[in-house]
Amino acid sequence: MKNNLKLAPSTSVKTKLSTTLKSWLPILQSSNDELIEMLTEMTQDNPYASVQTNLIKDFSSQSQYTKTTRKSSKQAEGFESFCLYEDGLFEVLLDQIAPPLFPTPRSQEIAQLIIEDLNEEGYFDGDLEEIASRCGCEVSEVDKIRKRFAYLEPCGIGAIDVVEALEFQLDQSELDGSAYDLAKLILQDLHNHFHHKSHAEYPRVMQVLKGFKNPPAIDYLAKEQYIKPDLFVSFENGEIEVRLNHEMSPSIKIDSNIQAQIPKSAEEQFIKTKVKEARTLVDALEMRKATLQKIGLMIVEYQYDFFNGGEIKPMKLKDLADEFGHAPSTISRAISNKYLECDRGIFSIKSFFSTALDDDVSNSAIKDFVNDLVKNEDRKKPLSDSKILELIEAKFGIKIVRRTITKYRQKLNIASSSERKKLYEMSF
């Protein structure tokens, strides 16, 4: 089938494309649940457009769907209680981004970007400089706002490492006076906490410290989440197939036969405007579907061996960004919270992208290896970064510098060997 679209410099075509693209980016970047809520809000004042899914057919009159579902989940029983939505860490934190802790639009924007860069354990592993650049402010301002997370729940969230997370929790604990001062000293030198045994407050302080959460988001890690895949990859008659999860994807229904309650003289223009808005959303949704399908096809092309039982190969996010003509950061946000299901399980789409260290070795493969090493290390003699480097070079036959190992360890929220030894001794 030939493509009959012409690339003539038509103003009307450019305007339409620009309007669709403005809708397309936030729609692409949303998960299916977020998309339903977003579309509901966008069509709230449009009598000719209704949001439909296979789960709930008409959201046009249910702008409070998500909020009422969340509220009613506590009263629900049996199967309904199991199926209803429950707030995740992301939603819990977003609800707290408000005055007085975050009094200005800019402080709220920075706080939201910080939340986007929290890993599943609740630690901040983003780039302060990148956030500062995006918000047009100093790095010190971003870090100052990050430290306000010490007052959010769950306490300890937003810290850069274990020790800071414990300090955040200490500041919100019941300890004060000499007990607080002792706890502060212990956290600064966990390895030698027993040196303070003679202190009258030592038993009480240690009891409180051992009650702190590590990692700070542990309560949310413990909850098994139902993940709705956006893409399915399967083998049909010996051929690999990529298809969208249409059951979870909402759509827009347009009905121009509805009689709007407006003056007759303005009715024609009103209908024209509202139907055009609805069609723009339809176009944006189609672009979202086409983009997700294309992303799935690219993943299968690059990672074909993985779907046949092999390892994930190096795949750069920049390659995907270049394909769509957007910045890598835009594409990164677009594939966040989106999942792919295949016969090997359900995987986040982001997990297929990594920076190559070598032609055949990916960043993610090294991280997985580091993680396994630390999980199985001798707790009396934790592995140093230098030792981990030796083991990696022996395993993969590559040459990298020690600071790269330190960087990976920090990204994985693994404390240094000396800090791990302290934590092992305290049995956190």
| Structural domain ending residue among the three candidates 318, 353, 388 | 353
The answer to whether position 276 is within a domain reads yes
Residues 280, 255 share a domain: yes
- Under the phi-then-psi rule, with left for phi > 0, alpha for psi from -120 to 50, and beta for the rest, what region is 244? beta
CATH number at residue 409: 1.10.10
Residues 305, 387 share a domain: no
Quickly list H helices, 303-384.
304-307, 317-324, 328-335, 363-375
Residues 349, 365 share a domain: no
Q: To which residue do tokens 């000293």 refer?
A: 185
Spatial neighbors of 97 by CB under 8 A, at least 6 apart, are: 108, 111, 112, 115
Signed CA dihedral, 187, 188, 192, 195: sign only: negative
Residues 237, 162 share a domain: no
Distances (CA, A) of 320 to 18, 101, 336: 21, 38, 14
Residue 25 parent element (H or E): helix 11-29
**How far apart, in whole angstroms, are the C-alpha atoms of residue 287 and residue 6?**
18
The answer to whether position 64 is within a domain reads no
**How far apart, in whole angstroms, are the C-alpha atoms of residue 370 and residue 405?**
8
The answer to whether position 216 is within a domain reads no
- Under the phi-then-psi rule, with left for phi > 0, alpha for psi from -120 to 50, and beta for the rest, what region is 136? left
Residues 183, 240 share a domain: no
| Structural domain ending residue among the three candidates 353, 382, 407 | 353
Residues 349, 244 share a domain: yes
| Structural domain ending residue among the three candidates 297, 319, 353 | 353
Number of domains in the chain: 3
Spatial neighbors of 400 by CB under 8 A, at least 6 apart, are: 357, 389, 392, 393
Spatial neighbors of 101 by CB under 8 A, at least 6 apart, are: 148, 151, 152
Q: Which of 316, 399, 392, 401 is nearest to 353 (CA)?
A: 316
**What is the residue range of 297's domain?**
231-353
Spatial neighbors of 385 by CB under 8 A, at least 6 apart, are: 402, 405, 406, 409, 416, 417
Residues 235, 128 share a domain: no
Q: ∠198-203-207 over CA atoms, to 5°? A: 150
Residues 297, 272 share a domain: yes
Residues 341, 237 share a domain: yes
The answer to whether position 34 is within a domain reads no
**How far apart, in whole angstroms, are the C-alpha atoms of residue 193 and residue 195?**
5
Quickly list H helices, 343-416.
363-375, 385-396, 402-411
**Packing angle of the helix pair 264-302, 11-29 (nearest 10 deg):** 60
The answer to whether position 50 is within a domain reads no
pLDDT on residue 363: 67
pLDDT on residue 3: 37
Tell me the two tokens of residue 135.
Answer: 């918000």
Tell me the two tokens of residue 50.
Answer: 């209704």
Q: ∠127-129-132 over CA atoms, to 5°? A: 115
The one-letter amino acid at 66 = T
Residues 203, 241 share a domain: no
CATH number at residue 199: 1.10.10.1330
Residues 162, 105 share a domain: yes
The answer to whether position 47 is within a domain reads no
**Packing angle of the helix pair 317-324, 328-335 (nearest 10 deg):** 100
Signed CA dihedral, 24, 30, 32, 34: sign only: negative
The answer to whether position 60 is within a domain reads no
Tell me the two tokens of residue 302.
Answer: 């690059």
The answer to whether position 272 is within a domain reads yes
Q: Is the peptide bond before 250 cis (omega within 30 degrees of 0)?
A: no
Q: To which residue do tokens 């309560």 refer?
A: 219
Q: To which residue do tokens 């098994």 refer?
A: 224
Q: Which of 247, 233, 224 is nearest to 36 (CA)?
A: 247
Provide the b/e sequence for 303-332 (b: ≥16 CB within 10 Å).
beebbeeeebbbbebeebbeeeebeeeebb
Local confidence pLDDT in tens for the 428 residues of the chain: 333 333 333 333 344 444 555 556 778 778 777 888 888 888 888 887 888 876 544 333 333 333 333 333 333 333 233 333 335 787 788 889 988 889 999 999 999 899 888 887 889 988 888 899 889 999 999 999 999 999 999 999 999 988 899 999 999 888 989 999 999 888 887 777 888 889 999 999 888 888 888 888 887 775 445 677 889 998 877 788 899 888 778 888 887 666 555 555 566 788 788 888 888 888 888 888 888 898 899 888 888 888 887 777 767 777 777 887 777 777 777 787 788 888 878 888 877 875 444 444 556 678 888 888 998 898 888 888 888 988 888 887 777 767 778 777 877 888 888 788 878 877 64
Residues 313, 241 share a domain: yes
Q: Which of 333, 334, 247 is nearest to 292 (CA)?
A: 334
Q: Which of 247, 255, 258, 186 is nearest to 425 (CA)?
A: 186
